Structure 1
Amino acid sequence: MNTKVHAVTDANGRPIKFFMTAGQVSDYTGAAALLSNLPEAEWLLADRGYDADWYREALRDKGIKPCIPGRKSRGKPVKYDKRRYTRRNRIEIIFGKLKDRRRVATRYDRCPKVFLSAVALAATVIFWL
């Protein structure tokens, strides 16, 4: 079984929201699902998988400035704040901390709902520590 976990963190890198999709599904699905639940923020940092014009426009409509580099296959390059983008490592650190929990890293749970529950429990511990 293959899944992707999409996460939203605060400025300090603490996990706030999660959404899980099938592994073969595009990142746009997770982006669209989390879009309506985004907290008040000035910037949104995301990797190239979330590069889409509709997503950038939806973020601007919410008053959030996107800091998302363009995909390699994009014809017209997109400008983004490279200095600010370096802070995206906080999201990678969260996924590393989640994988420190054996149950999440080894994916013992075959049911996606139970696995997402294990991720949420681990995220709760990370949030408060």
Structure 2
Amino acid sequence: MARLKPFFPKSHGKSRVDDRRLLSGIIFINRNGLRWRDAPKAYGPHKTLYSRWKRWSEKGVSARMMRGLAAEHRERKTVMIDASYLKAHRTATSMAEKGGRGRLIGRTKGGMNTKLHAICDSQGRPIDLFVTAGQVSDYNGARALLCSLPKVGWLLGDRGYDADWFREALQDKGIRACIPGRKQRKTPVRYDKRRYKRRNRIEIMFGRLKDWRRVATRYDRCPEVFLSAIALAATVIYWL
């Protein structure tokens, strides 16, 4: 809690309920995929848990925690980029015609889902996250995460990121790309196959994040709340 305290909003006026107890309850709900009304009484009223979680998500507290703790461990060698699908529950996809256009939920062969784009360091710890609708190309996620790349020597990615503009943008930043070329390329692209084998660490990272039920299955209609749940899981698993 001492490490997380600088990222909490400052209280104004009357002192608020204990942050430690509420944060423990929020973690319990997100990890087990429970409804807020099913929270154990030890964490206090479920309405207080939900209102605090909603308010923190709107302010981006969880994402600020993850980025702040990740900045303390500056990566200088290698980063990895990849994307993964997260299934959307019917509670998140309902009423799509009235207000679901901005929920970042799309339809693919696997059904309704959201795509999580992530950048992690050489040890497989997430540095930055970005969510889009499921049918969105990996290029859009790469374009959004490009500005947040740290100053490193290498970037590892799969064939989904083989684009000339992306390679040129990495070169302008002084980053060498270790990305295999697409099969449609007339001239094959050379890459470090030995270094590319380390990319499995970001796949392991996605698997560990999906151990949290409210990450593997999206129940929240608001994309900011869902992204906060992912950032909270990443913070607890990797940065605390």
**What TM-score do the two structures reach when normalised by structure 1?**
0.94
How many residues are matched?
Answer: 129
Which residue of 46, 49, 58 maps to 2:169?
Answer: 58
Q: Which residue of 2 aligns with 1:47?
A: 158
Q: Which residue of 2 aligns with 1:111?
A: 222
Higher relative contact order (CA 8 A, sep 6+): 2
Indicate yes or no: 2:115 matched with 1:16. Answer: no
Which residue of 225, 231, 235 maps to 1:120?
Answer: 231
Q: Which residue of 2 aligns with 1:100?
A: 211
Letter in 1 for 2:229: A
> How many Å separate the matches in 2 of 1:68 and 1:97?
24
Give the 4+ runs in structure 1 shifted more than 6 A: none
- After superposition, the CA RMSD in angstroms is 1.2
Cα deviation for residue 111 of structure 1 reads: 2.3
**What TM-score do the two structures reach when normalised by structure 2?**
0.52
Q: Which residue of 2 aligns with 1:26?
A: 137
Question: Unpaired segments of 5 or more residues in structure 1?
Answer: none
Cα deviation for residue 95 of structure 1 reads: 0.2
> How many Å separate the matches in 2 of 1:121 and 1:75?
43
Question: Unpaired segments of 5 or more residues in structure 2?
Answer: 1-104, 106-112
> How many Å separate the matches in 2 of 1:25 and 1:40?
27
Cα deviation for residue 3 of structure 1 reads: 1.6
> How many Å separate the matches in 2 of 1:47 and 1:114?
29
> How many Å separate the matches in 2 of 1:126 and 1:47?
25
- Percent of aligned positions that are identical: 75
Which residue of 194, 197, 202 maps to 1:83?
Answer: 194
Aligned-partner SS, 2:148: coil
Cα deviation for residue 72 of structure 1 reads: 2.1
Q: Which has the larger radius of gyration?
A: 2
Letter in 1 for 2:164: D
Which residue of 148, 153, 156 maps to 1:37?
Answer: 148
Letter in 1 for 2:191: Y
